Amino acid sequence: MRYVFILLLALFPAPGWSDGMDFTYDPTLIEVDVELALMVDVSRSMTSQELDIQRHGYASALTSAAVMDVITQGFLGRIAVTYVEWAGPGNHRIVLDWTTIGTMAEAEAVSATLMNTQPFGMQRTSISSALDYAAELIQGNKYQGLRRVIDVSGDGPNNSGAPVEASRDRVLEQGIIINGLPLMTEQDGAGQWAASDLDIYYRDCVIGGQGSFVVPVRSWDEFAGAVRQKILMEIASATPQIQHAQMIVPVAGTAPGTFDCMTGEKTWDRFRQNWEP
């Protein structure tokens, strides 16, 4: 199998591995098509109903026939996935530790794990901490993927911990791709912490890597479908295309944008100044 893996890297170099990075095959690691870290926002701006919708959405997507078809048609026919809920700096909860999905039985076991516990909210929003933590999980797992992807969702900009741009750049230097799922629903409880153009914030400040993209969710009714489409693209390494009006924002490369990436921190500072005696 190792010779197949090395040949695939030569014929189809994975984004990141081919960008000036040294790749050393490690026979102690399990080979997969994709290492996928699902980083899911559970900050307290999210309602309990929204937290439940998220769990159901990911569980449904991972067991869908479309996702399973893409997984089994991959070079190696399996992916490695972990599911982590996050909020402020250091607030990370591993709901699903790294495991492989290559059969429907494995996908159903993953789905059962996601639905076996009740999600609960945690304080603040630190996308930067979530990205750094996801990169550590990827670097420390027992898998070796043709591609490594962080899938991060959130209903607001970074407002705590390190600036998000620095964390994004550290992750990209490791050859890891970052895709975004900004939650921009009218029912969302983010209030003053939300950004009306959160999709642009994610595009300019959060995501990066070859073929990276943003899938905004503007209604909770769209969530399950958006998650399924996003995971399909991540597994298949498809070039992002606009599927519905304003649903997918394609981004090429990591060129800096014009959005103020400190908008969340500035909002928090104004809030704190207004409430301090």
Cα 264 vs. chain centroid, distance in angstroms?
Answer: 19
Count the helix, strand and coil residues of the chain and give each as a percent rounded to the nearest 5.
40, 20, 40
pLDDT of residue 272: 53
DSSP notation for 49-100:
HHHHHHHHHHHHHHTSHHHHHHHHTSSSS-EEEEEEEE-STT-EEEEEEEEE
Residue 201 has pLDDT above 70, yes or no: yes
pLDDT in tens, 172-192: 999 999 999 999 886 444 444
Average pLDDT, integer, range 123-152: 94
Q: Domain residues of the chain, as ranges?
A: 29-275
pLDDT of residue 17: 47
pLDDT of residue 158: 87
Architecture of domain 29-275: 3-Layer(aba) Sandwich (3.40)
Q: How confident is the model at residue 250 (pLDDT cuts 50, 70, 90)?
A: very low
Average pLDDT, integer, range 215-235: 91
Q: Which residues have a Cβ under 8 Å from the Cβ of 77 and sit 6 or more positions away? A: 33, 71, 102
Phi and psi, residue 202, nearest 5°: -60, -40
Sequence letter at residue 91: N
Could you tell me the strand order of the sheet in which 143-154 lies?
92-101, 79-86, 30-41, 143-154, 177-182, 213-214, 249-250
Please count the other Cβ atoms lying within 10 Å of the Cβ belonging to residue 27: 9
Nearest to 55 by CA among 120, 146, 122, 143: 120
Nearest to 247 by CA among 277, 223, 275: 223
Q: Write down the pTM of the prediction.
A: 0.83
Sequence letter at residue 20: G
Average pLDDT, integer, range 111-136: 89
Distance, in Å, from the CA atom of 216 to the CA atom of 188, rounded to the nearest integer, reads 13
